[in-house]
Chain A
Amino acid sequence: MEKIRFIHCADLHLDSPFIGLKHLPADLFDRIQNSTFAAFEKLVKEAVQRRIDFMIISGDLFDEEDRSIRAQAKLLKQFNLLDASGIPVYVIHGNHDHLGSFRLNLDMPGNVHIFDVKTEVKELLTKSGALVKLAGFSYGTRHIRERRITDYPRHIEADYVIGLLHGSEGSIHSSHEHYAPFTIKELKEKDYHYWALGHIHQRQLLNSDPPIVYPGNIQGRHRKETGEKGCYLVELHERDAALEFIPTQDILWERVEVSLSGIERFGEMFRKIMKKAEEYEVSSDSLLQIDLKDYLDLSSEIFHAVENGDLLQALQADLLTGEYSKWIHSIKLSRGEHVQIERNDPFIGDVIHELTDMSTEAGIEALAELYEHPSLYRYIDVLKEEELKHLIEESVELILYPAKRQ
């Protein structure tokens, strides 16, 4: 049997804005705006250079609401490039770019094969003569909550069978919504050679034989999507699979922990953070989040400077030196060092207990005034458990260290 080599990527989210950034400098703003394109261009370049047999994109090429013409025009350009190199592209649409959403009537080149809303199997004969069959479906609407995995045919006759699926594995807890859920067992039962998944932005290998892979997105889009992002170059030879991760991100999101213990002056703190950030090793231009640790000993003025954004402003005003440019986008106080609540005032202890024991519903109820405000709710993301937890932590701190607030 001939070998096949292909690139598997997903969640391009072309031209979708970065979330949670504010006061961006103009040049960085432009850079960020282009980063998803840059990442995809890099990916296509790699594909052409490495002469892969074909490419798989497992959904979410765009964000439905934010799908820009620019994004589509650029995507088309890249597809044309692939077409020129004779590389077929297999695309399924995901929840963010479902087929029901607004689409341009762009003539896709012949090498682009888009899966239908109904699960279908496409055939490909590679240049080296391997017969590859690809099974998958595209989202027709935004929300697909049924278990579409059952539609995938079993035991397909071919040299290689690859499943394309945009959805979430049942066991994964993530901030991503649960769509087209499935279990690893279900996938394995299909007896495919490779499962090209999409939807989860965090890169992960669910299984190695056969490989069941979330390649993650190709460019981190907010502070939580840290680390290298990219695609997988997959080489299948019968049942053997070799996966090579190719980083594509144009801008890295990273977190830098800085301990502030023993810091007494603002300048000291500033320098320490700058130093840490400069020393932090990255593989490309980066957006940094500074996680401050051991900040409880800070004097109130300094802490205030951290809280009210003076520190961030100062940090952003100064350019970081180094091989790659880095920009500090935010400063977070790293909670987690749970102060001994017991030792405190019993009343405060009770208050904190009250807080930490707060259920999500109670929390949402407590915040309903704002979250359910008729003109606000549209712009506020639904409060998730995780976020609530974080909020509660912050509130606890507020109560425990009231001195810092004065």
Chain B
Amino acid sequence: MRLIQLQVYGYGKLINQEYNLENLQLVYGENEAGKSTIMSFIHSILFGFPTRQQTQLRYEPKRSSEYGGKIVCESNEFGRLTIERVKGKAAGDVTVLFEDGRKGGEEVLHELVGKMDKVTYQNIFSFNLEGLQDIHKLKKEELNRYLFSAGSTGTDLLLQMEQQWQKEREQLFKKTGRKPVINSKLNELKAMDKLVAEAREKNKEYGPLLEERHSLESSICILTNEKESLAAERDRLYVIEEHWDVLSDYAAISKKLSTMESLAYPAKGTERLNGLKAEWRQTSSYLETLISKQKKLEEKLESVQMHTQFTEELHQVETLLSQQSIFMKWLDDLEEIRLETKISINRVSETIRELNLQLFEKDIPSINTSLLMRERIERSLQGFSRLQNESENLKKQYEAELETMHRIESKCDDLEEILMKEEDYQALQKKMKQQSVKQVSLQQKIWVENQIDEREKELRSKRKSFSQQILYSGIAALILTAFLIWGLLNDNSLGAFLAFLIISLLAINGWKTRQQLNKNTERIHDLRRKVSEISGGVSEMNGEYTDVDQAERTLREQVDYRSEWKQRILQLEEQESKLKEIQKHQEAVQTKLNMEIDVLEEIKAALRLPHEFPLEWVKDAFEEIKELVQTYEKLSQLRKDEHVLQKKVDDFSNRCEEWFVGNSFVFTTMQESFVRMKGILHEAEKKKLIFEQTQSDLEPLLLEREQAVGHLQKVNSEIDSLIQEAGCADEEEFRKLALKAEEREEFLARYEGMKTRINQHTLSLFSSFECKEDVTKRLKNSVLGINELIQEISQHQKELASVEHEIKRLEEGSSYSKLLQEFQDKKAELQEYIMKWSKYTLAQESLHKTIYHYQQTKMPNVIKLAEEDFTILTNEAYKAIHLTENEMVEVERKDGTRFQAIELSQGTKEQLYIAIRFALVQSFKDIYRLPIIIDDGAVNFDSARTEAFVELLRKMGKEHQILLFTCHPHIRDCFEEKETLILNTTVPV
């Protein structure tokens, strides 16, 4: 590959620069002209901008935003192409543009540079003064090695690394040593392993430990039991020793108690007895109280109680008192009756006086006042009054009739005067009669005339219809005659007969009608004759008409007068008979009346009425008398009642008095005695009440008393039974027994008290001793034994504890596991170091191997090329380069003298370096044909050798493009102008 043109957009201080490059190109420039920048630019475009992590400078332009540029180059495989790299991702964005317009990226570029990276490229194709200058500092072997490595790979880095690896390895591990990490860790691990082993060893102790534990436990158990029994004995012995007296006492008491065992004393007998006694006392005193109470009440009762007699008397009083109101009523009644009597007497006497009765009081009942009498009186009186009335009436009637007769007589007289004479009257009557006949004839004539008219009319119509009838009948007869003839001719006899019949009928009919007509005409003639008769009579009458009226009127008056007069005469006659009859009647009534008066007089006498007493008043008198009789009767009744009442009152008073006197009370008046009686009764009542009260009080008292008595009995019986229970005859004995029992109780209490304190073992143990001394002795022995056991047990327990601890530690204890884990941790750590060491070792190993391989295969070739180059560079002063066994580089001078690299002069050393580098490039020419970049390669060369160097460059230039950068004018001078690119310092600073 050949670079043709560099186009810098912006890189370091170069901005928008363009450089054309030849196959062998010298780039000359003073310091800071930009040589390094250009070299870096080439590297960067080809392999990418240095990343920030890398140590190389990035040459980012400070004065331009553009970063990067373009390289135009030529290659055998791809032809001419342009590589452009600008700012982008870390290494920049690259574009490869082919001649034919194709575009490519990083891969194409990668292909173009023969898949080489920057470092390798630099190591092989670009070398600077640093490499040359370092040679000065190197020691003999180092130089050799450096040269060797440079010769073989172009890099010393790997060898530098190898040195470092070695260092690291040695820090990590040395076969013999203590300080390296692995060695020290190993020691630690060893120590730990020992610990682990020890711990594991302990695990084996586990079994025996278990057994030991078991045996220890069982022996402890046995010993403890032993100790406990001994301790128990000791305790008992202590007790016995301490309470020797008590125990003896106890024994004595128990002995005594055993003798008293048969005592049959009821439990708490005394208390029970005392209780019962107290109860008895209480009850009996209560009873006494009750009895006294009763007595008091009874006394009270006595005082209140009345005699039975008196009680009866009280009854009497009560009765009397109850009759008080009656008595009072009696008195009132008496008074009333008396008053009434008085009134009645008065009335009787008054009536007698009034009627002026002819009798004394005592005769009164003899008066007949019966209903019959009354009836008689009534009847008589009625009859009397009726008869009297009748006679009166008759008198009046007579007078009235008489008057009427007089009036009729007068009237008759009047009428006689008015009346005509008989003859006049007759005449007149006759006249009147004629007049009325004429009147009737006239009326008859009118009627007949009317009838004639009517008959005539009827006749005319009849005649008319008759003529028609004749006509029709004639025709019919004609036809029928014809028919008859035809019939006769034709021998139709039936037809002819019928026709003949009909003709005859018609003829009869016609004849009849003719007859009738004739009759009617006759009648009319009759009627006309009548009319003419009548009309003769009527015509006479008309002349005398006015005169008739007058007469008629007079006649009519006279008729009336006459009839009235006749009537009056009749009346008069009648009246005279009537008067006569009445007179007769009057006389009959008068006799009857007299009879009646006699009867009445009789009655009056019966009634003891005075003679002069008017008859009319008899009835009233009778009533009075009757009332009198009644009054008298009532009076006598009243008198009787009074008498009875008086008697009753007297009786009652007497009884009261009698009672009073009987009860030695002073009797004064009835009123007083009543008050007194009430008082007595009240008192009695009060007493009775008190009595009853007391009695009712007494009743429960009695009941209570009864109960108390019962209770007392019960108490008594209980006391008895108690005593009996104790088997005693009486209380005294019982009391004695009680004392005994108490004693026993006391013993028993003491016994019990001791018993709680003294256990059976102690007792049994106690019983086995005779005296206290024995106890003390034995006690001593026990204590000793116990102490021994305790010691033994504690010893065992200690052992057990430690064994158990050990077991627990083994079982629970994580110490072993922990140790193991720690051991593993250490091991892991060690392993890591070992790995690290191994890593370095392996790398070193392979490096060594490769180097060896190179020495064996590639190196001779390189050395041969280097020899050639070196010969040229030294103007054939040296003819060969050798590699020694120990990787040393030696050179052989023309004269055959060999020199080690270190022995060479500075210039020659540099020439040797360059020769080897060139040889290296040459050896890769089949693989890579990349431009060689040399930075001030021939500084220390003399002019002859500089020329030789340039010659070598030209020779190399046939295969590779060579870019030589220098600041030395003498080197510039060795090149043609077209091969020289001069960088101006004036170019941007």
Q: For residue B823, which residues in chain A have a CB less than 8 angstroms away from its CB?
A: 17
Q: When the two chains form their complex, are residues B839 and A391 in contact, meaning their CB atoms are under 8 A apart?
A: yes
Stretch of A62-70, A144-152, A176-184, A185-193 on the interface side = A62-70
Instruction: Tell me, yes or no, whether B246 is within 8 Å of chain A by CB.
Output: no
**Distance (whole angstroms) from the CB of B121 to the closest CB of chain A:** 9
Q: Which of B811, B824, B847 contacts A70 (CB 8 A)?
A: B811
Q: When the two chains form their complex, are residues B824 and A344 in contact, meaning their CB atoms are under 8 A apart?
A: no
Q: Which of B116, B157, B175, B853 contacts A369 (CB 8 A)?
A: B175
Stretch of B133-141, B567-575, B627-635, B830-838 on the interface side = B830-838
**Distance (whole angstroms) from the CB of B388 to the closest CB of chain A:** 160
Instruction: Tell me, yes or no, whether A126 is within 8 Å of chain B by CB.
Output: no
A21 vs B22: C-alpha distance in the bound complex, in angstroms?
Answer: 63
Give the contacts of A391-406 with B (CB-CB under 8 A).
391-392, 394-395, 398-399, 402-403, 405
Instruction: Tell me, yes or no, whether B310 is within 8 Å of chain A by CB.
Output: no
A369 vs B837: C-alpha distance in the bound complex, in angstroms?
Answer: 11
Instruction: Tell me, yes or no, whether B842 is within 8 Å of chain A by CB.
Output: yes
Q: When the two chains form their complex, are residues B850 and A370 in contact, meaning their CB atoms are under 8 A apart?
A: no
Q: For residue B829, which residues in chain A have a CB less than 8 angstroms away from its CB?
A: 22
- Report the tally of A-B residue pairs with Cβ distances under 8 A: 186
Q: Which of B53, B203, B814, B850 contacts A354 (CB 8 A)?
A: B850
Q: When the two chains form their complex, are residues A345 and B155 in contact, meaning their CB atoms are under 8 A apart?
A: yes
Q: For residue B105, which residues in chain A have a CB less than 8 angstroms away from its CB?
A: none
Q: When the two chains form their complex, are residues B838 and A367 in contact, meaning their CB atoms are under 8 A apart?
A: yes
Q: For residue A392, which residues in chain B have a CB less than 8 angstroms away from its CB?
A: 842
A59 vs B190: C-alpha distance in the bound complex, in angstroms?
Answer: 30
Q: Which of B182, B841, B927 contacts A367 (CB 8 A)?
A: B841
A394 vs B168: C-alpha distance in the bound complex, in angstroms?
Answer: 15
A73 vs B175: C-alpha distance in the bound complex, in angstroms?
Answer: 44
Q: For residue B824, which residues in chain A have a CB less than 8 angstroms away from its CB?
A: 17-21
Q: When the two chains form their complex, are residues B828 and A102 in contact, meaning their CB atoms are under 8 A apart?
A: no
Query: Interface digits, A328-348 against B, CB 8 Å rule (1 contact, 0 not)?
Result: 000000000000101111111
**Distance (whole angstroms) from the CB of B463 to the closest CB of chain A:** 165
Instruction: Tell me, yes or no, whether B204 is within 8 Å of chain A by CB.
Output: yes
Q: For residue A343, which residues in chain B have a CB less than 8 angstroms away from its CB?
A: 110, 115-117
A391 vs B839: C-alpha distance in the bound complex, in angstroms?
Answer: 6
A149 vs B116: C-alpha distance in the bound complex, in angstroms?
Answer: 58
Stretch of A165-173, A269-277, A293-301 on the interface side = A293-301
Instruction: Tell me, yes or no, whether A156 is within 8 Å of chain B by CB.
Output: no
A198 vs B24: C-alpha distance in the bound complex, in angstroms?
Answer: 75
Instruction: Tell me, yes or no, whether A105 is within 8 Å of chain B by CB.
Output: yes
Q: When the two chains form their complex, are residues B207 and A399 in contact, meaning their CB atoms are under 8 A apart?
A: no
Q: Closest B-chain residue to A363, C-beta based?
A: B842
Instruction: Tell me, yes or no, whether B351 is within 8 Å of chain A by CB.
Output: no
Q: When the two chains form their complex, are residues B821 and A402 in contact, meaning their CB atoms are under 8 A apart?
A: no
A342 vs B110: C-alpha distance in the bound complex, in angstroms?
Answer: 12
Instruction: Tell me, yes or no, whether A158 is within 8 Å of chain B by CB.
Output: no
Query: Interface digits, B867-891 against A, CB 8 Å rule (1 contact, 0 not)?
Result: 0000000000000000000000000
Interface centre among B814, B835, B843 (most CB of A within 10 A): B843
Instruction: Tell me, yes or no, whether B161 is within 8 Å of chain A by CB.
Output: yes
A23 vs B829: C-alpha distance in the bound complex, in angstroms?
Answer: 9
Q: When the two chains form their complex, are residues B831 and A380 in contact, meaning their CB atoms are under 8 A apart?
A: yes
**Distance (whole angstroms) from the CB of B120 to the closest CB of chain A:** 4
A345 vs B850: C-alpha distance in the bound complex, in angstroms?
Answer: 13
A367 vs B820: C-alpha distance in the bound complex, in angstroms?
Answer: 27
Q: When the two chains form their complex, are residues A394 and B825 in contact, meaning their CB atoms are under 8 A apart?
A: no
**Distance (whole angstroms) from the CB of B166 to the closest CB of chain A:** 13
Query: Interface digits, B840-870 against A, CB 8 Å rule (1 contact, 0 not)?
Result: 1111011101100110000000000000000
Q: When the two chains form their complex, are residues A21 and B203 in contact, meaning their CB atoms are under 8 A apart?
A: no
Q: When the two chains form their complex, are residues B816 and A379 in contact, meaning their CB atoms are under 8 A apart?
A: no
Q: For residue B193, which residues in chain A have a CB less than 8 angstroms away from its CB?
A: 378-379
Q: For residue A299, which residues in chain B have a CB less than 8 angstroms away from its CB?
A: 52-53
Q: When the two chains form their complex, are residues A33 and B811 in contact, meaning their CB atoms are under 8 A apart?
A: no
Q: For residue A319, which residues in chain B have a CB less than 8 angstroms away from its CB?
A: none
A51 vs B123: C-alpha distance in the bound complex, in angstroms?
Answer: 74
A65 vs B831: C-alpha distance in the bound complex, in angstroms?
Answer: 19
Q: When the two chains form their complex, are residues A17 and B820 in contact, meaning their CB atoms are under 8 A apart?
A: yes
Query: Interface digits, A42-56 against B, CB 8 Å rule (1 contact, 0 not)?
Result: 000000000000000
Q: When the two chains form their complex, are residues B811 and A395 in contact, meaning their CB atoms are under 8 A apart?
A: no
Q: For residue A102, which residues in chain B have a CB less than 8 angstroms away from its CB?
A: 203-204
Q: When the two chains form their complex, are residues B182 and A395 in contact, meaning their CB atoms are under 8 A apart?
A: no
Q: When the two chains form their complex, are residues A370 and B838 in contact, meaning their CB atoms are under 8 A apart?
A: yes
Number of residues in A with C-beta < 8 Å to the partner?
A: 66
Whether A68 touches B817, Cβ cut-off 8 Å, given contacts A345-B123, A355-B842, is yes
Q: Which of B116, B206, B839, B847 contacts A351 (CB 8 A)?
A: B847
Instruction: Tell me, yes or no, whether B189 is within 8 Å of chain A by CB.
Output: yes
Q: Closest B-chain residue to A357, C-beta based?
A: B846
A49 vs B889: C-alpha distance in the bound complex, in angstroms?
Answer: 81
Instruction: Tell me, yes or no, whether A24 is within 8 Å of chain B by CB.
Output: yes
Q: For residue A22, which residues in chain B have a CB less than 8 angstroms away from its CB?
A: 825-826, 828-829, 832
Q: Closest A-chain residue to B211, C-beta based?
A: A105
Q: For residue A264, which residues in chain B have a CB less than 8 angstroms away from its CB?
A: 52-53
Q: Which of A15, A30, A403, A405 contacts B164 (CB 8 A)?
A: A405
Instruction: Tell me, yes or no, whether A128 is within 8 Å of chain B by CB.
Output: no
A284 vs B820: C-alpha distance in the bound complex, in angstroms?
Answer: 25
Q: For residue A367, which residues in chain B have a CB less than 8 angstroms away from its CB?
A: 838, 841-842
**Distance (whole angstroms) from the CB of A257 to the closest CB of chain B:** 21
Q: When the two chains form their complex, are residues B817 and A380 in contact, meaning their CB atoms are under 8 A apart?
A: no
Q: When the two chains form their complex, are residues A29 and B182 in contact, meaning their CB atoms are under 8 A apart?
A: no
Instruction: Tell me, yes or no, whether B761 is within 8 Å of chain A by CB.
Output: no
Instruction: Tell me, yes or no, whether A38 is within 8 Å of chain B by CB.
Output: no
Query: Interface digits, B118-158 against A, CB 8 Å rule (1 contact, 0 not)?
Result: 01100110000000000000000000000000001111011
Q: Which of B119, B154, B158, B828 contacts A399 (CB 8 A)?
A: B158
Q: When the two chains form their complex, are residues B814 and A33 in contact, meaning their CB atoms are under 8 A apart?
A: yes
Q: For residue A363, which residues in chain B have a CB less than 8 angstroms away from its CB?
A: 842
A299 vs B52: C-alpha distance in the bound complex, in angstroms?
Answer: 8
Q: When the two chains form their complex, are residues A19 and B816 in contact, meaning their CB atoms are under 8 A apart?
A: no
Q: When the two chains form their complex, are residues A344 and B854 in contact, meaning their CB atoms are under 8 A apart?
A: no
Q: When the two chains form their complex, are residues B821 and A18 in contact, meaning their CB atoms are under 8 A apart?
A: yes
Give the contacts of A66-105 with B (CB-CB under 8 A).
66-71, 73, 102, 104-105
Query: Interface digits, B797-817 against A, CB 8 Å rule (1 contact, 0 not)?
Result: 000000000000011111011
Q: For residue A205, which residues in chain B have a CB less than 8 angstroms away from its CB?
A: none
Instruction: Tell me, yes or no, whether A134 is within 8 Å of chain B by CB.
Output: no
**Distance (whole angstroms) from the CB of A406 to the closest CB of chain B:** 8
A17 vs B815: C-alpha distance in the bound complex, in angstroms?
Answer: 12
Whether A70 touches B810, Cβ cut-off 8 Å, given contacts A17-B821, A347-B854, A392-B842, is yes
Instruction: Tell me, yes or no, whether A248 is within 8 Å of chain B by CB.
Output: no
Instruction: Tell me, yes or no, whether B924 is within 8 Å of chain A by CB.
Output: yes
**Distance (whole angstroms) from the CB of B812 to the closest CB of chain A:** 6
Instruction: Tell me, yes or no, whether A373 is within 8 Å of chain B by CB.
Output: yes
Q: When the two chains form their complex, are residues B853 and A342 in contact, meaning their CB atoms are under 8 A apart?
A: no
Q: When the two chains form their complex, are residues B158 and A402 in contact, meaning their CB atoms are under 8 A apart?
A: yes
**Distance (whole angstroms) from the CB of B149 to the closest CB of chain A:** 9
Instruction: Tell me, yes or no, whether A366 is within 8 Å of chain B by CB.
Output: yes
Q: For residue B839, which residues in chain A have a CB less than 8 angstroms away from its CB?
A: 391, 394-395, 398
Give the contacts of A350-388 with B (CB-CB under 8 A).
350-352, 354-355, 358, 363, 366-367, 369-370, 373, 375-376, 378-381, 383
Instruction: Tell me, yes or no, whether B818 is within 8 Å of chain A by CB.
Output: yes
Extra 7 A-B pairs, beta carbons < 8 Å, given A299-B53, A347-B152, A380-B830: A24-B821, A297-B51, A299-B52, A366-B841, A373-B175, A403-B54, A405-B161
- Jot down 24 A-B pairs with beta carbons below 8 A, ordered by A: A17-B821, A18-B821, A19-B828, A32-B821, A66-B817, A70-B813, A71-B817, A102-B203, A104-B203, A264-B53, A298-B53, A300-B53, A345-B124, A346-B153, A347-B152, A347-B155, A347-B158, A347-B850, A350-B850, A355-B843, A380-B831, A402-B158, A402-B161, A405-B164
The interface of chain B, by Cβ under 8 A from chain A, is: 51-54, 110, 115-117, 119-120, 123-124, 152-155, 157-158, 161, 164-165, 173, 175, 182, 186, 189-190, 193, 200, 203-204, 206-207, 210, 810-814, 816-818, 820-821, 823-832, 834-835, 837-843, 845-847, 849-850, 853-854, 924, 927
4 A-B pairs with least C-beta separation: A347-B153, A299-B53, A17-B824, A17-B821
